[in-house]
Amino acid sequence: MFKLPAWSERGMVVAEHPLAALAGRDVLKRGGNFADAVVAVSAVLSVVTPHLCGLGGDFFGLFWLSKEKRSISLNGSGCAPKGLNASDLRRRFRGTLPPYSPLTVTVPGIVDALWQLHSRFGRLPWKELWIPAMEIAREGFPVSLKLASAIAANAKRLAKDEGAQKFFFRNGKPLGVGQNLRQIPLSQTIEQIAEGGRNAFYESDLTKSMVKCLQKKGNPVTVEDFAAQTSLWGEPISWRDGNLTILEIPPNSLGIATLQSLALLRTFPVERLEMTELASLVGLVARVVAKERDYYLADPNFVPFPPETLLNPDRIAMLKRQLTTNSPPVRPPSLPVDTTYFAVVDAEGNAASSIQSVFHNFGSGIMDPETGVLFHNRGSNFVLKSGHPNELVGGKRPRHTLSAVMVLEGKNVKGLLGTSGGDYRPNLQSWMIIHWLYLGKSLQEAIETPRVLWQGENRLLVERGAGDVEVLEQIGWQVQPLGYPPNIGTGVAHGVERAGESWCGCADIRGEGVALPI
């Protein structure tokens, strides 16, 4: 193992930035619970990883309530402005919106989601949980290697936006590793959220400023659109295999695709397959599940049939028959997408499997200079095809790539897992879960195991050690071999595993995250 896992009997926080993990750990050490820690971690991540997430993005979570022995899900995705519809855009655009168009900005859902979570389960005062994020935004923090690389890679796009250019550049040059990134307007916005709660973001002068910024760019969003935002509580979707139950977030989350992938993979003797055979099989499964995704995944009010029907044996058998057919006409992402996942377990055994994002690196690239809020571009996942379940309609949530995993063994939590990766998330999560739950690896080992990533049609990215490239090419795959760890994205995963009487926190070598015990 390259990263040593962290161990604790009392709880755990794993996050993609040390400052965020520290904020969550401090909350738990002060007597806060999982909900308090989620707010603190999420808020700090929104400051220190602006290329991955922010107050202008969305949030999803799975939560385990230890005393009640039950799980719940929270969908914090935002809706398209009421004044935006595909029928008005089909003549201007083909198929989908341009990925960085101002029209792709949907109402951010993260602040409402955190408010609902804390209102229902929080223990410490809401205001206290935002103090670390507020102070870091005001005083600044050193730019990390990953953030510096993201700023450099997106410099041309960011330089075109008044707000983004103001914060991510110094003397006309992109901020580099170790330079201090201060975000005074964002710290003031966070202070107002800390004081005024959810309404400070969705029904205030902050709202008017954000709406003005977006309208100036051509987005028809209104203050009424912001005020109408509300997150959705629900029951997780699940797939059972013996004594194991894999939980995921229901649509519009991509979670159902992870469960379909696992159900398909378990129709094969995965325990007896060699690494190259498993790599090819995972690629075939990812290809078929992607076609399913494009067909049905949408706002929960528009999904054509109940999600559980997608996991019934007849459906899985039908999909299995497609594994040997030609590649289906799916549209894999062509741009870097980024997200950040984090996991929390508190002293009572309550747990949170949480994920948040601005979708592509720096989202839309539009930042309101008055509030410091950088907006996501989640609406680029809508389609413009008339009658499609995921057709762009005002007030509707887009098909979403975010999802998070919780694994139960019997009636107890065995582990939490999540990764960045956009539409590739089902491929990545099923790969790690197979190695963890069926090939005898610890969760840390499964996270660090070299990965294979389906890239559309017959293309695979293969990290060194994930399979024999020559054999994969002989059986028809076009392989792009990668080093290990790779210098391009194959996802950054984190997780927590129950082992004996302790929790084991696991961070990915491919990222900058840490696991901190309580």
pLDDT tens sequence across 98-120 = 999 999 999 999 999 999 999 99
Give the span between the Cα atoms of 503 and 352, in whole angstroms. 13
120 in the same domain as 152: yes
167 in the same domain as 130: yes
Structure tokens at 462: 């293969």
134 in the same domain as 102: yes
What is the reported pLDDT for 336? 52
Label residue 311 exposed, middle or buried (CB < 10 Å: 0-12, 13-18, 19+). middle
Give the span between the Cα atoms of 360 and 353, in whole angstroms. 21
Each residue of 234-291: pLDDT tens digit?
Answer: 999 999 999 999 999 999 999 999 999 999 999 999 999 999 999 999 999 999 999 9
361 in the same domain as 462: no
Long-range own/partner contacts, residues 229-232 (CB < 8 A, 24 or more apart): 229/78, 229/79, 229/107, 229/108, 229/109, 229/112, 229/202, 230/112, 230/116, 231/59, 231/74, 231/75, 231/76, 231/109, 231/112, 231/113, 231/116, 232/74, 232/75, 232/300
Final residue in a domain of this structure, among 322, 349, 381: 381
- Residue holding tokens 């229902």? 120
What is the reported pLDDT for 337? 60
Does residue 180 belong to any structural domain of this protein?
yes
Mean pLDDT of 424-448: 97
The pLDDT mean for the chain works out to 95
Is the pLDDT confidence value at 334 over 90? Answer: no
The size of the chain, in residues, is: 518
294 in the same domain as 156: no
Q: Which is it for strands 180-181 and 351-357: parallel, antiparallel or unpaired? A: unpaired
CB atoms within 10 A of CB 73: 24
Give the span between the Cα atoms of 454 and 467, in whole angstroms. 13
Backbone angles phi, psi at 385, to 5 degrees: -65, 130
What is the reported pLDDT for 364? 98
129 in the same domain as 29: yes
What is the reported pLDDT for 95? 85
228 in the same domain as 101: yes
Share of the chain above pLDDT 70, in %: 97
Q: pLDDT tier at 399 (50, 70, 90 boundaries)?
A: very high
447 in the same domain as 431: yes
Does residue 6 belong to any structural domain of this protein?
no
Residue 18: asked if its preceding bond is cis (omega within 30°), the reply is no
Give the span between the Cα atoms of 246 and 89, in whole angstroms. 39
Each residue of 349-380: pLDDT tens digit?
Answer: 999 999 999 999 999 999 999 999 999 999 99
Does residue 211 belong to any structural domain of this protein?
yes
Mean pLDDT of 35-40: 99
Q: Answer left, alpha or beta for residue 446, where phi above 0 means left and psi between -120 and 50 means alpha.
A: alpha
Final residue in a domain of this structure, among 347, 381, 415: 381
Q: Which is it for strands 459-463 and 478-482: parallel, antiparallel or unpaired? A: parallel
Given a contact cutoff of 8 angstroms between Cβ atoms, the answer to whether 458 and 380 are in contact is no
Does residue 152 belong to any structural domain of this protein?
yes
- Domain with residue 415: its CATH number is 3.60.20
Backbone angles phi, psi at 425, to 5 degrees: -55, -45
Give the span between the Cα atoms of 438 and 344, in whole angstroms. 24
Mean pLDDT of 473-485: 95
290 in the same domain as 310: yes
Give the span between the Cα atoms of 56 and 163, in whole angstroms. 13
What is the reported pLDDT for 307? 83
Given a contact cutoff of 8 angstroms between Cβ atoms, the answer to whether 226 and 55 are in contact is no
Label residue 471 exposed, middle or buried (CB < 10 Å: 0-12, 13-18, 19+). middle
**Residue closest to 100 by CA, chosen among 287, 377, 320, 308:** 377
Whole-prediction pTM: 0.97
Does residue 312 belong to any structural domain of this protein?
yes
211 in the same domain as 243: no
What is the reported pLDDT for 242? 97
E strands present in 322-426: 340-345, 351-357, 366-367, 374-375, 405-409, 412-419
Domain count for the chain, please give it: 2
Q: pLDDT tier at 488 (50, 70, 90 boundaries)?
A: confident
Residue 339 annotated as catalytic: yes
Does residue 342 belong to any structural domain of this protein?
yes
Is the pLDDT confidence value at 483 over 80? Answer: yes
Which one is catalytic: 339, 371, 401, 419? 339
Lowest-confidence segment of 328-337, 371-380, 437-446 by average pLDDT: 328-337
Is the pLDDT confidence value at 198 over 70? Answer: yes
Final residue in a domain of this structure, among 346, 381, 416: 381
Does residue 1 belong to any structural domain of this protein?
no
Structural domain of 261: 234-335+402-517
Does residue 511 belong to any structural domain of this protein?
yes
Residue 252: asked if its preceding bond is cis (omega within 30°), the reply is yes
184 in the same domain as 46: yes
150 in the same domain as 111: yes
